[in-house]
Amino acid sequence: MENWPLISVIVPAYKVEAYLDRCISSIAQQTYTNLDIILVDDGSPDRCPQMCDEWAKRDSRIRVIHKENGGLSDARNAGLRMAAGAFVAFVDSDDDVDLQYIEALYRVLNDAQADIAECGVLLTDEGGQVLRERSCEEECVCLDRIEALRRLVLEKGVYQTVWNKLYRRAVIEGIDFEVGKCHEDDFWTYQVLERMERMVVIKRSLYHYLQRASGIMGEGYSLKRLDGLEARYRRMQDLQKYPELADLTRQNAVLECLYHWQCVLRQLCGEEKSHALDMIREKLDQIEPVKWQKLELNLKYKIWYRLFLCAPGLTASIRNRLGIGV
């Protein structure tokens, strides 16, 4: 392992003092030892700044950035600017990883001469109970750019999350996370996949994602969550240049509009509700519908798709009443 390249692991930290030690410990104990561990204290008001400094004193591989609070994207960007490794991984500070996480991803990436390696994910609760597992169907599969993007759009084996992957640094160089956006991974990941040549995905679930009610995605629906629709719409626009993906990305954007319309009807009211529906309608009106025969959906979803285009408000209301989709 002495000749193995340096790998930077970026860990943003904000209000996670209850989870931070477990997270850093799982990284520090990796079987792959040639690590550049970057802890980014994003102006955290709890004990995270001191905890980061204490870890840096205990492990010479750990460096700490203390900065004013700028959000998750800003913290990741700060970590990227400081990264020294030829490869980069991200770990969120309330999560933890299998002790072979880095080694397993590096081995398959190197063997396949790939630019990105992705593993499966165990989603757990605060008691450590596994809620579900998210992974690809194959034990190990190598994908070219188009197939990787296709699976990303379909959410079948390739996912937008940045933290269950190892990246060749040259592939992500210069692609910043968008500061101030919710669903920042959605804006970033497809751009990285567009730049790469080859990706390898393994089924083994080496990343442990903590699903907690107080997390960013556990805060309930708000206007900020429409950033997710903007990200999918922008992805659709950018990927129209690939004939193999054009129809699929438009189909996906329409279904994303349906999802957000349902969320708005269920959780918003008053001016926020009206404003959100106007924003969704504006996006929906700009998407060229996919012809029936080209829809990559089963018959049931084809019908929902067509109904939504004809009567979006009614369709979203019916699905909410039936408990479908949200």
The pLDDT score that the predictor gives to residue 2 is 60
The torsion angle over the Cα atoms of residues 212, 217, 218 and 224, rounded to 10 degrees, is: 160
The pLDDT score that the predictor gives to residue 303 is 96
Give the contacts of 31 (CB within 8 A, at least 6 positions apart).
Answer: 99, 100, 102, 103
The pLDDT score that the predictor gives to residue 50 is 98
Q: Write out residues in the chain with pLDDT < 70, as ranges.
A: 1-2, 213-219
The pLDDT score that the predictor gives to residue 19 is 97
The pLDDT score that the predictor gives to residue 285 is 96
Q: Which two tokens stand for residue 273?
A: 């509700």
The pLDDT score that the predictor gives to residue 214 is 58
CA distance 20 to 96: 9
The pLDDT score that the predictor gives to residue 167 is 98
CA distance 60 to 36: 9
- Quick one: which H or E segment has residue 45? none
The phi and psi torsions of 133 (rounded to 5 degrees) equal -120, 140
The pLDDT score that the predictor gives to residue 3 is 84
Say what the pTM is.
0.93
